[in-house]
Amino acid sequence: MSNNLKFYINGEWVAPTGSATLDVIDPSTEEPFTKIALGTEADVDKAVKAAREAFKTFSQTTKEERLALMRKLLEVYNKRFADVADALSREMGAPKKLAHTAQAGMGTAHLSKMIETLENFEFEELRGTTLIAKEPIGVVGMITPWNWPINQIMCKVAPALAAGCTMVLKPSEIAPINAIIFAEIMHEAGVPKGVFNLVNGDGPTVGEAIARHPGVDMVSFTGSTRAGVLVAKAAADTVKRVHQELGGKSANIILPDADIAKAVKLGVEGMMRNSGQSCNAPTRMFVPAAKHDEAKQVAKETAEKLKVGPASSEESWMGPVVSEVQFNKIQKLIESGIKEGAEVVTGGTGRPEGLNRGYYVRPTVFAGVTDDMTIAREEIFGPVLSILPYDSEEEIVERANNTPYGLASYVQSGSLEKARKLAAQMRSGNVYINYPAWDAGAPFGGYKQSGNGREYAEFGLEEFLEIKGTVGYGAA
């Protein structure tokens, strides 16, 4: 029986206190395929009370006990892997291959890395006669997005479990089914009652209730910078820890000595992946002015080869964007680029040819973009790339850093020494040199309005811990 109209609280699937429901839309067809219940403040309160009670015992478990639980969780997650991937494909439009290899695959990768991290992590250290102890922060409220859903759920749940915290999760109401399956996985893995709780709902109701709740010790939020500001304000009265991974407008700097054809091709593909719905997507491509025309041609050829189609099709490289709201926002931003004088190299407004239903966006490349244009300033969160020409390497650092965001930067160069020198000057939480392989052990998070705190491996685990100094602990 489906649990889509229930919440997972205190180890049980329970009916919501209210009666409101929401259709879950398949963005490939624009048709609803199921419903979820929408929670209330009362549902959040029940979940928080369960988590607070469970914290009394779960916080006292040993590292070995938590490791055993997380290994069992990994086993059950891998057993339900296909269910998670299929749900992600249906509800947020990820093509089948992407849903399985990357979207659902991130869950396995992050949980495996956190198990490895916990195996080697020390929670206590004696410095002289003072004991430095790292203890679980308490009840964590988790608010996760729709663009990489299970990735962000696991980036919060895995370190919280490793730390000994208990939690209340509100996944995105746009892509909630993977989270319901995840709650079933947690239950089957034997997570003690109250340790993990799931309440579906919208941000203004359930999200705000979690952020405001005095029984929540920490809120971990991933989403837009606008929403992150609201979460922080709601959390301020109770002085809880606020951990945030927010928006981005990442620069991709192609230096004159780089292989321009290779760098542009990989940059376009990296930006368009997941339909451009990644906070760290390399959306601003800086190219030498002398190579601007060549970059345009390569970008055009690359973008036009990307097959756009239904998430269910094995042939689709890129699916739809997640919702009608998102589709309309992207269309308006593409229109702004045209109105402000950017050159449309390929793409533009409307759906791709042959697709008259579904939230499909044409892979769009703008060239001749200037720093003051809207498309160079705002986070579009769609398959829209801006190519910005530059005249000298001296100007590029200031221009690349001239944004309120600071999540990621990308540097392409034939000289590792040059790339490292430039990377050191980037005001961003991550810098990727020459499109490296993804690293689950690298800290992930941003400078400036891209958030605060870090995720992944020990950097993520530390966010869920408090530090206690017991002075005189080692005295004779």
Give the containing element (helix H, strand E) for 245: strand 241-245
DSSP states along 426-460: --SSEEEESSPPP-TTS-B--SGGGEES-BSHHHH
Quote the DSSP letter at residue 318: B
- Counting Cα atoms < 13 Å in the Cβ hemisphere of 408 gives 25
Residues linked to residue 22 through DSSP beta bridges, in sequence order: 36
Closest CA to 470 of 120, 128, 138, 56: 128
For residue 379, the tally of other CB atoms under 10 A from its CB is 22
Torsion of CA 136, 142, 145, 149, to 10 degrees: 60
CA distances, 110 to each of 70, 100, 148 (Å): 11, 15, 13
Please compute, for residue 117, the number of CA atoms within 13 A of its CA located in the half-sphere on the CB side: 26
Q: Name the DSSP letter for residue 11.
A: T
Q: At what angle do helices 81-92 and 177-188 cross, to 10 degrees?
A: 160
Among 453, 423, 459, which residue's Cα sits nearest to residue 440? 459
The answer to whether residues 148 and 136 touch, using CB atoms and an 8 Å cutoff, is no
- How many angstroms separate the CA atoms of 115 and 132, rounded? 23
Q: Give the N- to C-terminal CA distance of the chain in Å, as an integer.
A: 62
DSSP codes of every residue in 361-422: ---EEEES--TTSHHHHS---SSEEEEEEES-HHHHHHHHH-SS--SEEEEE-S-HHHHHHH
Residue spans of alpha helices (H) in 189-245: 208-212, 225-236
Beta-bridge mates of residue 433: 411
- Read off φ and ψ for residue 131, nearest 5 degrees: -90, 120
What residues does each domain of the chain span? 7-246+450-470, 251-442
pLDDT at 475: 83
Distance CA 330, CA 318 (A): 16
Q: How far apart are CA 20 and CA 37, in angstroms?
A: 6
Asked whether this chain's domains 7-246+450-470 and 251-442 adopt the same fold, the reply is no
Q: List the alpha helices (DSSP H) in 278-340.
A: 292-304, 324-339
Classify residue 349 by its DSSP letter.
S
Confirm whether 279 is a catalytic residue.
yes
Q: Is 245 a catalytic residue?
A: yes
Give the residues across from 388 on adjacent strands.
286
In degrees to the nearest 10, what's the CA dihedral of 293, 295, 301, 303? Answer: -130
**Which pLDDT tens digits describe the chain residue by residue (476 residues)?**
699 999 999 999 999 999 999 999 999 999 999 999 999 999 999 999 999 999 999 999 999 999 999 999 999 999 999 999 999 999 999 999 999 999 999 999 999 999 999 999 999 999 999 999 999 999 999 999 999 999 999 999 999 999 999 999 999 999 999 999 999 999 999 999 999 999 999 999 999 999 999 999 999 999 999 999 999 999 999 999 999 999 999 999 999 999 999 999 999 999 999 999 999 999 999 999 999 999 999 999 999 999 999 999 999 999 999 999 999 999 999 999 999 999 999 999 999 999 999 999 999 999 999 999 999 999 999 999 999 999 998 899 999 999 999 999 999 999 999 999 999 999 999 999 999 999 999 999 999 999 999 999 999 999 999 999 999 999 86
In 126-155, which positions are buried (b, 16+ CB within 10 angstroms) versus exposed (e)?
A: eeeeebebbbbbbbbbbbbbbbbbbbbbbb
- One of 173, 208, 245, 455 is an active-site residue; which one? 245
Residue 389 has φ and ψ, to the nearest 5°, of -75, 150
Identify the pLDDT of residue 40.
98
pLDDT at 1: 63
* Bridge partners of residue 131, in order along the sequence: 126, 470
Mapped onto helix, strand or coil, the DSSP state of residue 8 is strand
Q: Identify the CATH homologous superfamily for domain 7-246+450-470.
A: Aldehyde Dehydrogenase; Chain A, domain 1 (3.40.605.10)
Cβ atoms 339, 381 nearer than 8 A: no
Output the pTM of the full model: 0.97
Q: Catalytic residue among 155, 173, 279, 379, which?
A: 279
Contact criterion met (CB below 8 Å) for 3 and 183: yes
Q: How many residues does the chain have?
A: 476
CATH 3.40.309.10 fits 251-442, yes or no: yes
CB atoms under 10 Å from CB of 444, counted, come to 22
The structure tokens 């000298």 sit at 392
HSE toward the beta carbon, residue 307, CA cutoff 13 A: 10
**Residue 447 contacts residue 429 (beta carbons within 8 Å):** yes
Which amino acid is present at 150? I
Query: If we measure between CA atoms, which residue out of 253, 276, 255 comes closest to residue 378?
Result: 276
CA 427/CA 401 separation, integer angstroms: 6
Cβ atoms of residues 272 and 363 within 8 Å: yes
Residue with tokens 């206690």: 468
